[in-house]
Structure 1
Amino acid sequence: MATGTNAWIEGELAGCHFADERLGRRLSMLLDQLAGAMGDSIPLACQDWANTKAAYRFFANERVSDADNLAGHFDSIRQWVAATTGPLLVIQDTTEFSFQREHPEKIGQTVRVNSGQDKEGRFRMHTVCGLLMHASLAVTTEGLPLGLGAVKFWTRTKFKGTAALKRKINPTRVPIEQKESVRWLENLRRTTERFGDPARCIHIGDRESDIYELFCLTQELGTHFLVRTCVDRLALGGDTTVDAVMSEVAVQGVRAVAVRDGQGRVGTVEVELTYRSLRILPPIGKQKRYSALTLTVLHAREREALADRPRIDWKLLTDLPVLTQEAAIEKLRWYAVRWKIEVFHKILKSGCKAEEARLRSADRLVKLIAVYCLVSWRVFWMTMIDRSAPDVDAGTSTDAAAATPG
């Protein structure tokens, strides 16, 4: 394997296979240029018109896709995963990239937002031009980002808010395959198959991932999940709900956690822990298709509400057993690692400045953002490996990953 400042690029792209080998060489050069001029535009990163024109041709080439650009990374992450031990946290989340274009129809839209009121007091709405990306980031329990296990890009030609849809149809009766939320299941399946060790993976998501079909899929694949729940489902025999049962569970532990107030000052508060294993039923409209599951409900609630920030109130759901206070605290720590994917998104947008790209169509933008994903992961990894194992050479060898606590 090559050595040098950007030797990692060779390892990341070794698994890429293009119809024309010249495309592989161009991707390698582009990754080197964009990583060396992070945040700069394509012309500034490429330095001269010949390389700039070649970059534009690469992103316009129909024989290149975002999956092609990420194929090598997906191949190399298997080595990173194999080089570590212990639980593997697979964090899923969605982010939006907004753009301003003269012809927004070439990209698509993400959402309609309120623009304020006009002179007559009527609310104005405008459509945001942009793309959406749903990614799965593999992280050790110590917070070291091993890489991306799956990435899905899409855009909308039409947008209908959830409230509008509910006026016409009960969303719980719509098959998951017909919803955008199927992306959570698709990424879970891809990463589980890609890493090849289902029992080791814990798939983590925020309240948007509180999907009964996802819970069933984890059991089918032999893997695990830990999500923040927002749905008060039927429990036990169906004559009560999860919240009703948990309200009667006595406090089983108290944990001191560090928090920041509205002025950014760090302090300590006490959080009460309650947890219980429950039989949870699927939505009424899907009980013929899915069976009841026995899951663990874990609540962490701050004892007193403060005026300068929201009260800590986490409601987590997992298929993992929680029998002791130590196990409950462990699961809370794992869920707190979910913030790592937000950091990854911040590097993409603030570091690489992906939303300042001037490419004019969705298919070209996703190819560019896929390359930015590689740059962002590398920056994030370099930052965290220096904290996790400061004495290890952060080169291309997987020895760096193996040296981290796992």
Structure 2
Amino acid sequence: MHPLIAVTPDKCPLGIVDNLSWYREELHTRTKTKQELNSYHMHCPIEFKESYRWLLGYQKSCKIAERCPDTQIICVGDRESDIFDIYHNEEQRGDTLRADWLVRARINRVLLDENDDRKTTLLFEEMKKTKEVGKIKITVPKRGNQKKRTVILSVKIKQVKLHPPTGRRGELKLEPVHATVVATSEINPPKGCAPIEWILLTSVLCDDTLSDAKKIMAWYLARWQIEVFFKTLKTGCRVEAIQIKEGSRFLPCIAMYLIITWRIMYITHLSRTEPTLDCNCCYSKDEWRTIYMLNKKRKPPKVSPSIEVITRMLATMGGYLGRKSDGPPGPKTIWLGLRVLNNFLQSQNTLKKVKEM
């Protein structure tokens, strides 16, 4: 499963743009040598590789860009999406409206100079020689055994021209691609923690300034929302516990859970970042009135409460304790609260139908 979600620069999830689902006919078993596998991946058309999903995702982003000409659309991916076909595809779209791309570099690529001659240094070495433009401070969320922490990063930025892969140049005739590179490295990382080192590639051409580097890094940090999305899908919605085996039933079920996951993320984000918003932005009138009555045991007010108030009440129905030391409600308790709410709403509708009989 490879979903494509729309997120604003301030990390607000707007919805599910696309989802690609597939299954492997054979499990990955090591029956070939590493040299044979490399040869296969080099000569196999990208349409037959699982990495093709990244190119499809970028093409879908370009369609969104065509429909939203006044909005800058940037397709952000991790190291797995460092595929030259994406960069080349963007260059070949010419003057037509297209999405920009931003990926974390995985391959130490060959560079070209002003005369289109190959440089003696590769991408990673070139960025090590580049002068630092400043330092920035970011917050790294908790992951695994590593706690949430604030880090200081040294920042470098440079405009480069990427040489196309030589192994396929004669076959695919790929052209060089211009890109902006932002390289960061953590200063004085704590003991036991691997230092943060990112090299980001983007089609957004800009000045080699710290402000532009900050902007590009902010876009990349918004990619963390896809990690939150999968965590919500797996732990909150418990999608891995689904025991449907038929594809005709499983795929529609997954599509429904993707929408539910987005709604949970949307409620969680707005209740934390815009707590004073009217709750009608996320809840129907029947929903928030039912939540209020279940918690307060009295008639709901005529004026709808804020989203923070109703979300805390909803999370309480899902096991949220709301102690002073507790943080704001998370996706899991909100999801469990929505399940309880849905049961009550179904009961209400059933009783109404019974009375009408």
The question of a shared fold, defined as TM-score above 0.5 by the shorter chain, is answered with yes
Distance 1:244 1:314 in 2: 13
Distance 1:317 1:268 in 2: 24
Count of residues in correspondence between the two structures: 265
User: 1:300 is matched with which residue: 184, 198, 207?
Assistant: 184
User: 1:246 is matched with which residue: 127, 146, 149?
Assistant: 127
Distance apart, 1:248 and its partner CA: 1.3
Distance apart, 1:260 and its partner CA: 6.8
| 2:11 is the alignment partner of 1:143 | yes
Q: 1:321 to 1:280 in 2, by over 3 A?
A: same
Distance apart, 1:166 and its partner CA: 4.2
| Unpaired runs of at least 5, structure 2 | 283-357
- Contact kept, 8 Å, 2:105 with 2:200, in 1: the verdict is yes
- Contact kept, 8 Å, 1:275 with 1:322, in 2: the verdict is no
Q: 1:162 to 1:320 in 2, by over 3 A?
A: farther
State the SS of the aligned residue for 2:244: coil
1:358 alignment partner AA = Q
Distance 1:163 1:226 in 2: 35
State the SS of the aligned residue for 1:142: coil
| 2:157 is the alignment partner of 1:275 | yes
Distance 1:298 1:244 in 2: 13
Counterpart position of 2:289: none
Distance apart, 1:301 and its partner CA: 0.2
Residues 46-93 of structure 1 deviation map (CA, whole Å, 9 limit, x = unaligned): xxxxxxxxxxxxxxxxxxxxxxxxxxxxxxxxxxxxxxxxxxxxxxxx
| 2:217 is the alignment partner of 1:346 | no
Counterpart position of 1:177: 47
State the SS of the aligned residue for 1:141: coil
Q: 1:395 to 1:290 in 2, by over 3 A?
A: farther
Distance 1:375 1:286 in 2: 43
- Contact kept, 8 Å, 2:102 with 2:202, in 1: the verdict is yes
From the two aligned structures, give the one with the greater helix fraction: 2
Counterpart position of 1:228: 104
- Contact kept, 8 Å, 2:159 with 2:179, in 1: the verdict is yes
1:286 alignment partner AA = R
- Contact kept, 8 Å, 2:182 with 2:213, in 1: the verdict is yes
User: 1:214 is matched with which residue: 71, 75, 86?
Assistant: 86
Distance apart, 1:175 and its partner CA: 2.0
Counterpart position of 1:191: 61
Distance apart, 1:204 and its partner CA: 0.3
2:254 alignment partner AA = I
Distance apart, 1:383 and its partner CA: 1.2
The two structures, once aligned, show a CA RMSD in angstroms of 2.4
Q: 1:172 to 1:395 in 2, by over 3 A?
A: farther
Distance 2:243 2:83 in 1: 36
* TM-score under structure 1 length normalisation: 0.60
| 2:253 is the alignment partner of 1:336 | no
From the two aligned structures, give the one with the greater strand fraction: 1
2:26 alignment partner AA = K
2:211 alignment partner AA = E
- Contact kept, 8 Å, 1:297 with 1:318, in 2: the verdict is yes
Distance apart, 1:265 and its partner CA: 5.5
- Contact kept, 8 Å, 1:172 with 1:283, in 2: the verdict is no
Q: 1:318 to 1:368 in 2, by over 3 A?
A: same
Counterpart position of 2:139: 258
- Contact kept, 8 Å, 2:82 with 2:105, in 1: the verdict is yes
Q: 1:318 to 1:164 in 2, by over 3 A?
A: farther
Distance apart, 1:264 and its partner CA: 5.9
Distance apart, 1:363 and its partner CA: 3.5
Whichever of the two has the greater Rg, that structure is 2
- Contact kept, 8 Å, 2:62 with 2:98, in 1: the verdict is no
User: 1:318 is matched with which residue: 199, 202, 206?
Assistant: 202
2:79 alignment partner AA = R
| Unpaired runs of at least 5, structure 1 | 1-132, 398-406
Distance apart, 1:179 and its partner CA: 1.1
What is the aligned-residue identity percentage? 30
Distance 2:40 2:125 in 1: 24
- Contact kept, 8 Å, 2:229 with 2:262, in 1: the verdict is yes
Distance apart, 1:388 and its partner CA: 3.4
